[in-house]
Homo-oligomer: A and B are copies of this chain.
Protein backbone atom coordinates (compact mmCIF):
# COMPACT_ATOMS: atom_id res chain seq x y z
CA UNK A 1 0.00 0.00 0.00
CA UNK A 2 2.63 2.49 0.99
CA UNK A 3 5.89 3.36 -0.75
CA UNK A 4 4.62 2.80 -4.28
CA UNK A 5 5.78 5.34 -6.81
CA UNK A 6 3.24 8.06 -7.52
CA UNK A 7 2.61 9.89 -10.77
CA UNK A 8 2.53 13.62 -11.42
CA UNK A 9 -1.27 13.33 -11.68
CA UNK A 10 -1.53 12.07 -8.11
CA UNK A 11 0.62 14.93 -6.84
CA UNK A 12 -1.51 17.53 -8.58
CA UNK A 13 -4.70 16.00 -7.22
CA UNK A 14 -3.34 15.92 -3.68
CA UNK A 15 -2.72 19.65 -3.98
CA UNK A 16 -6.34 20.18 -4.93
CA UNK A 17 -7.51 18.13 -1.97
CA UNK A 18 -5.22 20.17 0.23
CA UNK A 19 -6.69 23.43 -0.99
CA UNK A 20 -10.25 22.28 -0.32
CA UNK A 21 -9.30 21.00 3.12
CA UNK A 22 -7.83 24.36 4.02
CA UNK A 23 -10.93 26.20 2.90
CA UNK A 24 -13.21 23.89 4.88
CA UNK A 25 -10.97 23.98 7.92
CA UNK A 26 -11.05 27.76 7.88
CA UNK A 27 -14.83 27.55 7.79
CA UNK A 28 -14.77 25.39 10.88
CA UNK A 29 -15.82 22.15 9.16
CA UNK A 30 -14.55 19.07 10.99
CA UNK A 31 -14.93 16.08 8.70
CA UNK A 32 -15.40 15.16 5.07
CA UNK A 33 -16.05 11.92 3.18
CA UNK A 34 -14.30 10.94 -0.02
CA UNK A 35 -17.64 11.42 -1.76
CA UNK A 36 -18.01 15.00 -0.59
CA UNK A 37 -14.40 15.78 -1.44
CA UNK A 38 -15.08 14.28 -4.86
CA UNK A 39 -17.96 16.65 -5.46
CA UNK A 40 -15.79 19.61 -4.53
CA UNK A 41 -12.83 18.66 -6.69
CA UNK A 42 -14.41 16.87 -9.62
CA UNK A 43 -12.65 13.56 -8.97
CA UNK A 44 -14.31 10.27 -8.04
CA UNK A 45 -14.52 9.18 -4.42
CA UNK A 46 -12.72 6.01 -5.40
CA UNK A 47 -9.80 7.88 -6.88
CA UNK A 48 -9.48 10.08 -3.83
CA UNK A 49 -9.33 7.06 -1.53
CA UNK A 50 -6.77 5.44 -3.81
CA UNK A 51 -4.65 8.58 -3.89
CA UNK A 52 -4.66 9.00 -0.13
CA UNK A 53 -3.83 5.35 0.43
CA UNK A 54 -0.57 5.73 -1.45
CA UNK A 55 0.54 7.45 1.71
CA UNK A 56 -1.49 5.91 4.48
CA UNK A 57 -4.92 5.17 5.85
CA UNK A 58 -5.95 8.59 7.07
CA UNK A 59 -9.68 7.91 7.26
CA UNK A 60 -12.04 6.04 9.47
CA UNK A 61 -14.82 3.72 8.31
CA UNK A 62 -18.26 5.15 8.70
CA UNK A 63 -16.86 8.59 9.49
CA UNK A 64 -14.69 9.79 6.65
CA UNK A 65 -11.65 11.98 7.13
CA UNK A 66 -10.94 14.37 9.95
CA UNK A 67 -10.11 17.55 8.07
CA UNK A 68 -7.42 18.93 10.35
CA UNK A 69 -5.65 15.58 10.47
CA UNK A 70 -5.78 14.98 6.73
CA UNK A 71 -4.66 18.55 6.05
CA UNK A 72 -1.66 18.06 8.30
CA UNK A 73 -0.83 14.69 6.72
CA UNK A 74 -0.80 16.17 3.21
CA UNK A 75 1.13 19.16 4.46
CA UNK A 76 3.72 16.83 5.87
CA UNK A 77 3.84 14.67 2.71
CA UNK A 78 4.65 17.79 0.69
CA UNK A 79 7.06 19.18 3.24
CA UNK A 80 4.92 22.28 3.78
CA UNK A 81 5.52 22.17 7.53
CA UNK A 82 8.78 24.04 7.10
CA UNK A 83 10.16 27.14 5.42
CA UNK A 84 12.09 27.25 2.16
CA UNK A 85 14.77 29.66 1.09
CA UNK A 86 14.79 30.69 -2.55
CA UNK A 87 16.98 32.82 -4.78
CA UNK A 88 15.95 34.45 -8.04
CA UNK A 89 18.43 34.61 -10.89
CA UNK A 90 17.74 37.56 -13.15
CA UNK A 91 16.54 40.96 -11.95
CA UNK A 92 14.56 41.71 -15.10
CA UNK A 93 10.81 41.90 -15.51
CA UNK A 94 9.99 38.48 -14.19
CA UNK A 95 12.56 38.59 -11.40
CA UNK A 96 11.15 41.89 -10.19
CA UNK A 97 7.59 40.60 -10.31
CA UNK A 98 8.53 37.55 -8.26
CA UNK A 99 10.34 39.68 -5.71
CA UNK A 100 7.15 41.65 -5.17
CA UNK A 101 4.81 38.67 -5.29
CA UNK A 102 3.29 38.24 -1.84
CA UNK A 103 1.91 34.70 -2.27
CA UNK A 104 5.26 32.97 -1.95
CA UNK A 105 6.37 34.27 1.43
CA UNK A 106 2.87 33.89 2.86
CA UNK A 107 3.26 30.15 2.31
CA UNK A 108 6.78 29.89 3.67
CA UNK A 109 8.71 30.19 0.42
CA UNK A 110 10.97 33.19 0.98
CA UNK A 111 13.17 34.88 -1.57
CA UNK A 112 16.42 35.59 0.23
CA UNK A 113 18.35 37.17 -2.62
CA UNK A 114 18.25 38.13 -6.28
CA UNK A 115 21.28 37.65 -8.51
CA UNK A 116 22.18 39.42 -11.72
CA UNK A 117 25.26 40.24 -13.75
CA UNK A 118 24.35 43.82 -14.56
CA UNK A 119 26.41 46.28 -12.45
CA UNK A 120 23.73 48.92 -12.93
CA UNK A 121 21.31 46.99 -10.77
CA UNK A 122 23.60 45.04 -8.43
CA UNK A 123 23.45 46.55 -4.94
CA UNK A 124 19.93 47.88 -5.35
CA UNK A 125 16.94 46.51 -3.48
CA UNK A 126 13.77 45.11 -4.99
CA UNK A 127 11.01 44.91 -2.41
CA UNK A 128 13.69 44.92 0.29
CA UNK A 129 15.60 42.09 -1.34
CA UNK A 130 19.21 42.89 -2.22
CA UNK A 131 20.35 42.32 -5.79
CA UNK A 132 23.73 40.61 -5.63
CA UNK A 133 26.43 39.81 -8.14
CA UNK A 134 25.94 36.40 -9.70
CA UNK A 135 29.51 35.55 -8.76
CA UNK A 136 28.44 35.49 -5.10
CA UNK A 137 25.79 32.84 -5.74
CA UNK A 138 27.75 29.82 -4.60
CA UNK A 139 28.92 31.27 -1.30
CA UNK A 140 25.54 32.75 -0.56
CA UNK A 141 23.69 29.51 -1.29
CA UNK A 142 25.93 27.49 1.02
CA UNK A 143 25.79 30.00 3.85
CA UNK A 144 22.04 30.47 3.64
CA UNK A 145 20.98 26.90 2.86
CA UNK A 146 19.13 27.89 -0.27
CA UNK A 147 16.63 25.22 -1.36
CA UNK A 148 15.20 26.55 -4.59
CA UNK A 149 16.63 28.59 -7.45
CA UNK A 150 14.26 30.46 -9.73
CA UNK A 151 15.53 31.06 -13.25
CA UNK A 152 14.23 34.34 -14.67
CA UNK A 153 17.03 35.18 -17.08
CA UNK A 154 16.79 35.92 -20.82
CA UNK A 155 16.63 33.14 -23.39
CA UNK A 156 19.90 31.40 -24.11
CA UNK A 157 21.24 31.48 -20.56
CA UNK A 158 19.09 28.76 -19.00
CA UNK A 159 21.48 25.81 -19.14
CA UNK A 160 24.37 27.87 -17.85
CA UNK A 161 22.36 29.31 -14.97
CA UNK A 162 21.00 25.86 -14.10
CA UNK A 163 24.54 24.50 -13.96
CA UNK A 164 25.54 27.29 -11.59
CA UNK A 165 22.58 26.56 -9.33
CA UNK A 166 23.48 22.88 -9.24
CA UNK A 167 27.12 23.72 -8.60
CA UNK A 168 26.01 25.88 -5.68
CA UNK A 169 24.36 22.86 -4.09
CA UNK A 170 20.78 24.01 -4.65
CA UNK A 171 18.32 21.13 -4.73
CA UNK A 172 15.67 22.32 -7.13
CA UNK A 173 14.79 24.81 -9.82
CA UNK A 174 11.70 26.69 -10.91
CA UNK A 175 12.43 27.59 -14.52
CA UNK A 176 10.56 30.43 -16.21
CA UNK A 177 12.48 30.48 -19.47
CA UNK A 178 10.69 29.15 -22.54
CA UNK A 179 13.30 26.43 -22.75
CA UNK A 180 12.53 23.01 -21.35
CA UNK A 181 15.22 22.25 -18.86
CA UNK A 182 16.29 18.74 -17.85
CA UNK A 183 19.34 18.25 -15.73
CA UNK A 184 20.65 15.21 -13.93
CA UNK A 185 20.90 15.59 -10.18
CA UNK A 186 18.62 18.57 -9.73
CA UNK A 187 14.83 18.74 -9.56
CA UNK A 188 13.22 20.99 -12.14
CA UNK A 189 9.75 22.43 -12.66
CA UNK A 190 9.38 24.18 -15.99
CA UNK A 191 6.84 26.97 -16.26
CA UNK A 192 6.54 27.48 -19.97
CA UNK A 193 4.29 30.47 -20.61
CA UNK A 194 4.63 30.13 -24.36
CA UNK A 195 3.36 26.55 -24.23
CA UNK A 196 0.40 27.74 -22.18
CA UNK A 197 -0.50 30.35 -24.79
CA UNK A 198 -0.06 27.83 -27.58
CA UNK A 199 -2.33 25.44 -25.70
CA UNK A 200 -4.95 28.15 -25.53
CA UNK A 201 -4.52 28.58 -29.28
CA UNK A 202 -5.08 24.86 -29.75
CA UNK A 203 -8.20 24.83 -27.62
CA UNK A 204 -9.64 27.90 -29.34
CA UNK A 205 -9.20 26.21 -32.71
CA UNK A 206 -9.98 22.62 -31.68
CA UNK A 207 -12.18 23.07 -28.63
CA UNK A 208 -14.53 20.31 -29.65
CA UNK A 209 -11.73 17.79 -30.12
CA UNK A 210 -10.29 18.30 -26.70
CA UNK A 211 -10.75 15.70 -23.99
CA UNK A 212 -11.86 17.58 -20.95
CA UNK A 213 -10.39 16.62 -17.63
CA UNK A 214 -12.24 16.64 -14.33
CA UNK A 215 -14.02 19.87 -13.58
CA UNK A 216 -15.15 20.57 -10.09
CA UNK A 217 -18.26 22.38 -9.04
CA UNK A 218 -15.84 24.96 -7.68
CA UNK A 219 -13.18 24.13 -5.15
CA UNK A 220 -12.54 27.69 -4.10
CA UNK A 221 -14.60 30.20 -2.25
Contact = CB atoms under 8 A, between A and B. Distances in A.
Interface string A197-208: 111111111110
Interface string A73-103: 0000111100010000000111011111101
B179 A80 contact: no
A84 B179 contact: no
Nearest to A213: B8
Contact of A103 (B77, B180, B194, B202): B194
A189 B201 CA distance: 11
Q: Taking the full assembly, how many copies of this chain does it contain?
A: 2
A46 interface: no
B155 A205 contact: no
Interface residues of A, number: 70
A102 B129 CA distance: 25
Given A80-B201, A194-B107, A179 B220 contact: yes
A193 B199 CA distance: 18
Contacts of A196: 174, 189, 191
A140 interface: no
Contacts of A218: 182
